[in-house]
Amino acid sequence: MKRFILAPLAVALFACAAGLSGCTTTGGAQPIPPAQIAAVACPQLNLVHTQLVALNTALEASTSTAAFGKKADAQLAAIQPIINGVCNGAAAAPAVNFANLQTLVQTGFPALSTLVASLPMSATQEAAIQAAIAVAETAAGMVNSLQQAQPAPATSSK
């Protein structure tokens, strides 16, 4: 299980670092399009979603954990529109913007982390899922912070 998580994490971190390395051009930091940020964060979020759906299916199948599974399904359903606002928008680039990225960073990631921490799973499973969330959160949050630190573009007065 760890191997399946660590490989995409390494790729995501490399992609994030490569994307940020373009910020040291002679004209100062270049704006990074929201779709590019989503391209780094969304594969990890999709991985987390797949893992949680599989876990919830297993939880709901057992009478002793069915209540956990149903509660987790409801929480995941509440979080999913926030994630979809960024990740489904990555395929249709105009839908991804800094406002929905900020909502994902401030609301979606903490909600996912809380959900994962509340589920009955092994420490290894929880650590792997939390690591995937952390990579996506770090990539989106760091790039979003850099974007907000950009000076406003100068306007010409003609």
Name the amino acid, one letter, at 22.
G
Instruction: Decide if 4 is inside a domain.
Output: no
Expressed as residue numbers, the domain containing 76 is: 32-146
- Residue in the structure block whose two tokens are 């069915």: 66
Q: Residues 103-125: pLDDT tens digits?
A: 888 888 899 999 999 888 889 98
Return the structure tokens found at 19.
């994307």
Total number of domains in the chain = 1
Instruction: Decide if 152 is inside a domain.
Output: no
For residues 68 and 120, is the Cβ–Cβ distance under 8 A? yes
Residue 14 has pLDDT above 60, yes or no: no
Closest CA to 97 of 138, 132, 148, 50: 148
Residue 4: per-residue pLDDT: 43
Instruction: Decide if 50 is inside a domain.
Output: yes
Instruction: Decide if 8 is inside a domain.
Output: no
pTM of the model: 0.66
Phi and psi torsions of 155, nearest 5°: -105, 145
For residues 35 and 74, is the Cβ–Cβ distance under 8 A? no
Instruction: Decide if 118 is inside a domain.
Output: yes
